[in-house]
Structure 1
């Protein structure tokens, strides 16, 4: 799966990592719906860190369509309400 982090590039993520990211994504959906801003920011930061640490960075010269687009870490809670709804950005 190809994941783009807005403003930071693309990463190739193996299936096992995607399962882990989906769990974090599901927690973010709950935190956003409960309007828990601080906890939401921590989980979004964790989501992005996991992608960067465990995914394989894709060079800028390689142009691939992204399967998932992850918002930047500075996403506000209000903006997150439009992104992290239903099943979130990762499909169950």
Structure 2
């Protein structure tokens, strides 16, 4: 799976990591719904850190279609809310 982190670039990520990322995504969604700003920020950073850890960066000149687009680490709660699908940022 190709994942884009806005403002950073793309990484190739094995599907085997989606369960852990989905767990963080569920936590992020709950914090957004409750208005927990500090929790939201912490979980967003944890989610992006895991994607960076598990993913293999693609070259900057690579133009692969992204299957998943994640917000930048400095995205606001409102910006992330606008990116949400019914099941969060990560399908599943």
- Per the alignment, in what secondary structure is the counterpart of residue 44 of structure 1? helix
Alpha-carbon contact 1:29-1:86 (below 8 Å) kept: no
- TM normalised by structure 2 equals 0.92
Unaligned runs of 5+ in 2: none
Deviation at 1:81, TM superposition (A): 2.3
Which residue does the alignment assign to 1:54?
Answer: 54
Distance 1:42 1:84 in 2: 18
Which residue does the alignment assign to 1:22?
Answer: 22
Deviation at 1:54, TM superposition (A): 1.2
Unaligned runs of 5+ in 1: none
Distance 2:88 2:18 in 1: 13
Q: Runs ≥4 in structure 1, deviation > 4 angstroms?
A: none
Say what the alpha-carbon RMSD is for the aligned residues.
Answer: 1.2
Count of aligned positions? 92
Which residue does the alignment assign to 1:34?
Answer: 34
Which residue does the alignment assign to 1:9?
Answer: 9
Q: Deviations over 1:51-90 (max 9, x none)?
A: 1111111111221000000001111122222223531111
Q: Deviations over 1:28-55 (max 9, x none)?
A: 1111011000000001001111111111
Alpha-carbon contact 1:32-1:84 (below 8 Å) kept: no
- TM normalised by structure 1 equals 0.92
